[in-house]
Amino acid sequence: MRLIDTYQIIATTNLVIQLVVLGLLSGGYWLKRMKKFRQHGITMLSAVVLHAILIFTWMIWSLRNFFGGPSSINFADTIVIAVLIHASAGIIAFLLGVWLTGSWHLKTDLKTCFAKKNIMRVTLALWLTALVFGIILYLRLMLII
């Protein structure tokens, strides 16, 4: 199997798992709407853990390989700008997700969670931004559109 084939398989698997994370986030939102707040928190924690696994097993390596070295970054290239938006939004969303789920740490008292609702919305918006840019990058780099 060639390296490019392996790269495509890993990238496709990563995209599929990110769509699973999207499903977890959607399910978590549905649980919140049903006022099942503890299950909502556990679902969101699962999404953050799964996302962390992807970041540390694939995304950091992929970002490092994409840029090569600091001298090869061309800020006039739209793909480079898209990668930077994707990575920045994803990293911030991940850190906020870790902070949100870490500060909750499976508490039964939900008063402090309700106070963080706006941060949760920002986190979701950033994650969705990263996902959309990730899908665009996948299509552009893997399918050469």
3-state percent helix, strand, coil for the chain, nearest multiple of 5: 85, 0, 15
pTM of the prediction? 0.83
Q: What is the mean pLDDT of the chain?
A: 86
For the chain, give every domain's residue range: 3-142
For the ranges 46-55, 57-66, 80-89, 132-141, the lowest mean pLDDT is seen at 57-66
Report angle CA 105, 46, 28 to the nearest 5 degrees: 90
Tokens of 48: 């953050």
List, for residues 39-73, the tens digit of each pLDDT value: 988 999 999 999 999 999 988 888 887 777 666 67
